[in-house]
Structure 1
Amino acid sequence: MALSYKARKRWSLVILLVGLPVYIVACVTVINWLDRPSVLIELLVYVGLGVLWAFPFKFVFMGVGQEDPDADR
């Protein structure tokens, strides 16, 4: 089932304002469990986890910054 433009816009705000901070805390927790590895490993983990969070939500963010295609002109 496809989401409407307004629903995608609302979900993208929820993901960015609630989900992303929770994900950041989870990533920092993972790094703390690793007991402060070397800077290179830490950087690779942060970059990997930073890219990983966006893939499941790719369909939500597509086209959100553009005009509403369903709006009357």
Structure 2
Amino acid sequence: MALSYKARRRWSLVILLIGLPAYVVIAVTVVDWLDRPSFWVELLIYVTLGFLWMLPFRFVFLGVGKADPDATPPEDGPGREG
């Protein structure tokens, strides 16, 4: 079932404002369980986790930054030359 443009915009906000901070807390907690590995290992873990969080949600973010494809274009009003 495909999500509408408005639904994808709303879900992307929920994911970015609630889900991403929660994911950051979880990632820091997991790294903390590893007794603070060396800098390079820790950096590799954060980069990997930073990439992996978006994979399940890529369909939600696809095209959200573009104009609504289902919206009707605005009609030219008075005073607009064209």
Aligned twin of 1:36? 36
Moved over 6 A (4+): none
TM-score (norm 2): 0.88
Letter in 2 for 1:29: T
Q: Deviations over 1:21-53 (max 9, x none)?
A: 000000000110000100000000000000000
TM-score (norm 1): 0.99
For the aligned residue pairs, the C-alpha RMSD in angstroms reads 0.3
Q: Output aligned runs, 1:62-73, within 5 Å.
A: 62-73=62-73
The sequence identity of aligned pairs, in percent, is 70
Letter in 2 for 1:17: L
- Paired with 2:46 and 2:67, the residues of 1 have a C-alpha distance of 33
Gaps of 5+ in 2: 74-82
More helix by share: 1
Aligned twin of 1:45? 45
The reply to whether residue 22 of structure 1 matches residue 29 of structure 2 is no
**1:5 deviation in Å?**
0.2
Rg larger for: 2
Aligned twin of 2:56? 56
Letter in 2 for 1:32: D
